[in-house]
Structure 1
Amino acid sequence: MIVATATDTAYVELTAVLLASLAANTGGEIGRVVVFCDNVGAEDQARMRASYTRDNIAFVDLAREMERHFGARPVNHHLSRTAYARILMPLLLPEAQGRLLYVDCDTLINAPLAPLAGLDMQRFAVAAVDDVARLDPARHAARNIAIGLPGAMRYFNSGVLLIDLDQWRRESLSEKVMAFAADHPDLPMMDQDALNGTLRGNWLALDERWNLHRRLVKGRYEGDPVDWDDAAIIHFIGQIKPNYADCDHPARARFLAHRARTPFAQAKMKTKLSRKIAKRVRKWQRFRNWLGRRLLGTGQAA
């Protein structure tokens, strides 16, 4: 089974911690790890590589592919265009067959992944976990209706996707999802809406332990008790990430334990001010790269 993720300059640290957790909790079920990078420089790639203690890892730059397919697609206040990367992965790995497990870079692997490698996918191209919006029926229905789905239809979170590469290609899903995104330029949840709108419930539901996520308010979880220890994959959704000084996520201690085994072990936690500054710098870097590609046919890694 291939494990893949996607990152840009804003999420290098989170990706490094994900890779450390992957190395710590998995074994022979993982044949290959692929990190798709959107304008991530050599130094940051080296930091991520140092966080993963095995040699079955590769880094693939997809900046030009992202620009070609999704350069005009909108992004929102906390999602970058790398959110669309999972749609391209089956096309960018044409020789790969079998299973691909896509995980967002703000996840932690907390248990072996062998059960997913051997799962009967029942001829579905995608297996995933219901989005947390299911806990709010009105919110769930509104999200579905906004993309043309029946209000009660199941809607998955795209942060963890188990993909049957052969079935995905047979159904031409990359092309269909990209067409859906092009026809719906204002998707609130971007790629997640495009995937759900295209598949229309034709996917296999996984137990939530494979993508345990809950909505936090200002970095704090105040909902019903959740057994984070039992989760196989922990997903830190929302704007407040576990490497932020103001994060109080119940599973943050696990994140910090894996972070201690990466080159970011001694890095300062991000504050609100430092995040604002970094956000403005990244915005300028993206504009610089875009302008270089458009006007000069160049573009430096941001």
Structure 2
Amino acid sequence: MTTQKDKIHIALASNNGYVVLLAALIKSIDENHKSDEEIVFYILNDKISSKNQNKVNASVSNSPKIILKWIDAENVFPENVKFPKDNSAFPKTAYLRLFAPYILDIEIKKLLYFDVDMIVKDDVSELWNIDLKGYTMAAVLDVGKTVGCAWGGIPNYKELGLPADAKYFNSGLMIIDCEKWRLENIPQKVFKAMDDHIEHVNYADQYGLNVVFAQNWLEIDPMWNWFANNYHPKPKCIHFLDIKPFFKSYQSDEQFRKEFFKYLDKTPWKGMPLKSDFYRLLHKAMIKFKKKLKVVLP
């Protein structure tokens, strides 16, 4: 009989526009998982259509070690939650990860979180078995590496009393100690950091997370969050930070795009043609418009 110790718990958040990324990521984890644990995916579902949910389910229907649990976004966010009014094009879907530890059974102590714009190339059990060494969270250095990075990082790091060379992580991959996360009330702290310094918020909750965890997080192997704009022959996980690989205007490494479609073609989206930029640009414009509208008409 399988126990909680025999299971790997993974949270993913997606909306309908990025469901193909979700499907490819799940398939990549499934294909490369060689050890005996079951993998439980908690899919934080921001209005993914029933048709697309069925397609994702079909992608792993023959995988005995994969369990998919669909959880509607409205059941993840606390009642009357107030989102920071930043000026980014990040949708509210991005904030679902902050609340993922709250929807798990209390006996589940650890959680992996992946952004859906990733492909996993190695056995996820290796990541799962990393010792957090007492930290609440582990992650990989971001492209800019430090809080003092001129085009990223934490723009007001001096005001916050941080040294310029303090390390800055990418929040697309996190190993989370669920107990500590809940005890420390991380979502409230992240939103407060964003609200208090809203003029400096550059990458939505990644800003808030780096403020809250400044100089207090575990750095792990960069191969577990390797950015697609920089080729490497053996990354453990590829992160498509920029334009996603199913768009015609994709600009990152072409070999990594082939890796994405290798897994997508093992799902009901096999043979999907590349999309034009119209949807991508319209989607971003609509998000920014809705945020500005909420500022004017709260």
TM-score by length of 2: 0.82
- Looking at structure 2, the residues matched to 100 and 173 of structure 1 have their Cα atoms a distance apart, in angstroms, of 14
The 3-state SS of whatever aligns with 1:132 is strand
In the other structure, the counterpart of 2:216 is 202
Determine which of 166, 169, 186 is the counterpart of 1:153: 166
- Looking at structure 2, the residues matched to 199 and 142 of structure 1 have their Cα atoms a distance apart, in angstroms, of 12
* Compared CA separation, residues 76 and 111, structure 1 to 2 (3 A): farther
- Give the drift of 1:147: 7.6
Tell whether 2:30 aligns with 1:20: no
Query: Which runs of 5 or more residues in structure 2 are unaligned?
Result: 1-7
Amino acid at match of 2:206: Q
- Give the drift of 1:254: 0.3
Tell whether 2:264 aligns with 1:259: yes
Amino acid at match of 1:207: D
Conservation of the 8 A alpha-carbon contact between 1:107 and 1:233: yes
Tell whether 2:70 aligns with 1:97: no
Pairwise CA RMSD: 2.9
Query: Which runs of 5 or more residues in structure 1 are unaligned?
Result: 215-220, 295-302
The 3-state SS of whatever aligns with 1:131 is strand
* Compared CA separation, residues 110 and 141, structure 1 to 2 (3 A): closer
| Aligned ranges 1:231-270 → 2 under 5 Å | 231-238=235-242, 240-250=243-253, 251-270=256-275
Conservation of the 8 A alpha-carbon contact between 2:139 and 2:175: yes
Percent pairwise identity: 27
After superposition, what is the alpha-carbon deviation per residue over 1:82-105, rounded to whole angstroms, capped at 9, x for unaligned? 111111011122435222110000
Conservation of the 8 A alpha-carbon contact between 1:90 and 1:174: no
- Looking at structure 2, the residues matched to 74 and 40 of structure 1 have their Cα atoms a distance apart, in angstroms, of 24
Aligned pairs, number = 277
In the other structure, the counterpart of 1:45 is 53
Amino acid at match of 2:241: I
| Aligned ranges 1:198-237 → 2 under 5 Å | 198-213=212-227, 221=229, 226-227=231-232, 229-237=233-241
- Give the drift of 1:143: 3.5
- Give the drift of 1:173: 2.1
Determine which of 83, 92, 100 is the counterpart of 2:94: 83
Conservation of the 8 A alpha-carbon contact between 1:140 and 1:151: no
Tell whether 2:183 aligns with 1:170: yes
- Give the drift of 1:31: 3.4
- Looking at structure 1, the residues matched to 89 and 285 of structure 2 have their Cα atoms a distance apart, in angstroms, of 13
Greater shift in the superposed pair: 10-19 or 94-103: 94-103
The 3-state SS of whatever aligns with 2:226 is coil
Amino acid at match of 1:243: F
